[in-house]
Amino acid sequence: MNQLEEREIKPVETASRNIQTGGRTAIWQARLVLLVMINIAQLWILSATIEAALAAHYKQLIPLVIASGVCWLLALSIFLWWKPAEKRQGPQQIVRNR
């Protein structure tokens, strides 16, 4: 009977694990895509900064640097905090993947 129970439970556990793994993969992909998009935006800002500086449009420099800083803060928050939870050890407890 115990063996039967185990046979019934195992597929459910495996499916649950697969769902968790798939969710973690999606979160990792989302993190990477967001960081790539932020990098592209910062590249554009850097080129705009150089062009404005060479054109002696100094009033445009501060907003551009602030925009780049905001992008960097977004990247920092994604890097530090937007991490997928590795596994649940209870109804409320979540272990972060470090």
Say if CB 86 and CB 96 are below 8 A apart.
yes
Q: Does 12 bind other proteins (CB under 8 A)?
A: no
Interface residue with other proteins, options 6, 16, 21, 28 (CB under 8 A): 28
Q: Which is nearer to other proteins, 4 or 62 (CB)?
A: 62
What does the DSSP assignment read for 18-84?
HHHHHHHHHHHHHHHHHHHHHHHHHHHHHHHHHHHHHTT-GGGHHHHHHHHHHHHHHHHHHHHT---
CB of 6 to other proteins, least distance (A): 34
Residue ranges binding other proteins (CB under 8 A):
28, 31-32, 35-36, 38-39, 42-43, 45-46, 49-51, 53-58, 61-62, 64-65, 68-69, 71-72, 75-76, 78-79
